[in-house]
Amino acid sequence: MSLILLFLLFIFILIISINQASYCGQSAIPFSLEIKENSQPILGCARPSCFGWSSNGQKLVSDPAQFFKIWGQSDGFIKSVSSINEIQKTSFNEFSKCDKSFTRSRCVKDTWVGGIAPSAFITPNYPIKLICCSYNKLNKSVLAGNAQIRAGQMILGGEVFNKNGQQIGFEYIANIWRVFDKKG
């Protein structure tokens, strides 16, 4: 009987761990991806001034961001906002629709990476699992390019401003995948 209880406890802990993975939530968008020296990904999330806020500047909390600690380090973060005044002027009271679990190996067109399942060990035998999110106005976005990063590197997007300091765009992480070669 104790073996069954131990197995159920293991399953319970596994479910909690999966539910506490790196996830931007429905009111934030990934703007950075860092790959640590041990190959652990760190997903940076932000709320652009035009997304994820109510018209009075309050955070929309439909499905909040959550992050997981792997080897003592968080696998993601939410960037703080630079100007609440900009948010109040341009907010649309909208948020994304995200998968309910980490089931995808890649995100498709008109979606972005909403979260990365935790993995204590990064190996070719363990595929990456993602949550993908969509937003009805995303079809107006334009692909800015692709980047290849390795352990110890990061890619950074985020707010794009015009010469007057007004936010006119947001560079986000649309898709990620792991490739293992001779260099790691």
- Rounded to whole angstroms, what are the CA distances from 41 to 82, 85, 166? 25, 32, 31
Residue type present at position 21: A
- Residues 31/172, Cβ–Cβ less than 8 Å: yes
Q: Which of 29, 54, 32, 51 is nearest to 43 (CA)?
A: 32
Would you list the domain boundaries of the chain? 2-171
Higher pLDDT, 131 or 181: 131
Name the DSSP class of 126.
Answer: S
Cβ count within 10 A of residue 178:
15
131 against 20, higher pLDDT: 131
The Cα 107–Cα 126 span in angstroms is 18
Mean of pLDDT values over 144-157: 88
pLDDT per position as a tens digit, 22-36: 888 888 889 999 988
For the chain, give the mean pLDDT.
74
Contact predicate 65/45, CB 8 Å = yes
- Tokens linked to 2: 């104790």
Distance CA 94, CA 91 (A): 8
Task: Say if residue 151's pLDDT is above 70.
Answer: yes
Q: What's the pLDDT score for residue 131?
A: 93
pLDDT for 62: 63
| pLDDT of residue 76 exceeding 80 | no
Question: Which residues lie closer than 8 Å to 161 by C-beta, 6 or more apart?
Answer: 167, 168
- Quick one: DSSP state of residue 16? H
Q: Please enumerate in sequence order all residues whose Cβ is within 8 A of that of 59, keeping only pairs 6 or more positions apart, or say none.
A: 27, 47, 52, 53
